[in-house]
Structure 1
Amino acid sequence: MNITFLGTGTSQGVPMIGCGCEVCTSANPKDNRLRSAVWLQNEDTSVVIDSGPDFRYQMLRAKVETLDGIVFTHGHKDHVAGLDDVRAYNYWTQKDIDIFANPDTEEILRREFQYAFSNIQYPGLPQLAIHSLTGQDFTVGSMDFRTIKVLHYKLEVFGYRIGDFTYITDANYIAPEEMDKIRGTKILVLNALRHEKHISHFTLNEAIDIAQEIGAEQTYFTHISHQLGLHDEINTSLPQGIFLAYDGLKLTC
């Protein structure tokens, strides 16, 4: 399976107008992050996890020519706001795009994109087929997904394990039974917002502790705030086998 990081930032991770900090003004492209999302592709299936506000540009930048499904972690705007732009894939494939979401996220999608789910349909609307998730395993094309429930403060967020690859974002707590689902992963992706304590995200040190407990061969941190610091400086300070992800990073698992 090929893995492409479409974005590794947060709404506080993209360059901020007027901020002036060393990250927001950095010339290093690894410090220029769009909202967090990842593209998974194998021989016959193409899936994106989350479609934030940067979705259209991310898909163009990564040259994603086919799309079989979008799997959502949760319903916050920085993870769902770009869903409307699936209509280009509807046009080329002449079929619905399968989307997978838990009940809370499904409710948000139906409210925010009510015209796509209305009884009144007309050409050009996004064509979506919703599949409700309650924590069960599921399949998109030839990819098998195992759901991992994490907490984003008090909000339940879904992470996913696909074979030896696990993707978790927007979390600050993982229960022991959910940690057990991750063990044995070869590549782990985990959120690491900043150094300072946060109410709903892992800090860098908290993410390192989780990564070392899991012991994946490679761990990559995503959902990175500009408050974390410059990519190259932080990356070189991390323990062996742990790295900062960056937009456009490609992996194979």
Structure 2
Amino acid sequence: MGNTRLLAAGGALAATMAVAAPVVTLDRAVAVPAPARGPASGMEFSAPHGEVEAGTPIVLSGRAGYLDRTTGNGGRVDIFFRKGQATPKVYLGSATAGSSGRFRFPTRANATGEYVAHYQHRKLAVTADATDFLAVYTSRAVDRRLFSWTATNLSCLPTCKAVGPDQQISAGPVKVRLERKCLQPKSGGRIGFTTDQKNAYRAGDLGWRDFPQGDGPTEFELKPATTKGHFYLEWTSATPPQGQFSSCDITFAVSQTSMDKTYV
């Protein structure tokens, strides 16, 4: 009897302990750490800045691979050219990227467009791409008429004057052709390009040419210090002897050679 009661009591205790056992539940998600990221790869790539004339030798250069490393970036860089985003690429050749990732590719600029570089690491599955734009032009010398003036049978007493409009010219010399024919010898004057509204002549100014008594070349150059102003001519006939007339035929034309630029 005693044993039976003891077993029963023990069973009740076991049951009580089983009921009292805590229940564990997961009411919050456990954060999973993100996988570690490898070093970032990329490319620095550039063509010459600005613009160049067609046929100019250029060097395309850059650096590719793991840009935060100075070694271990050896690989191959293929170079392409295309006129625009919608046009196909033309393969130009390849360059070798050294361990630092630096590379150079010499070529000639023949057209305006984009240079495209594609890098492939020598051993790893690492690639990078970059582009750069270059404008290319052709040029030719063009002779442009800037101003001309013609008059006949002018007395030029006291003085004949011709004033051109204000205009912009290119830097550099201008070519002048001046023809004058006066009945009276020693008739002279001057011609120039100036910003001065009073058209004051200064000896030694390369923008002027002086003909004190009319003698001098028919064709010559002026070298103005300014590119904005107007052309001016004045001519004075020598006083004729009593009973004679003064008369001048004068014509002059000014032109300038400049380079005409066309992008290709």
**Superposition TM-score tier, normalisation by shorter sequence:** under 0.3
TM-score (normalised: structure 2)? 0.18
Instruction: Give the greater-gyration-radius structure (CA).
Output: 2
TM-score (normalised: structure 1)? 0.18
If each structure's strand is expressed as a fraction of its own residues, which one has the higher value?
A: 2
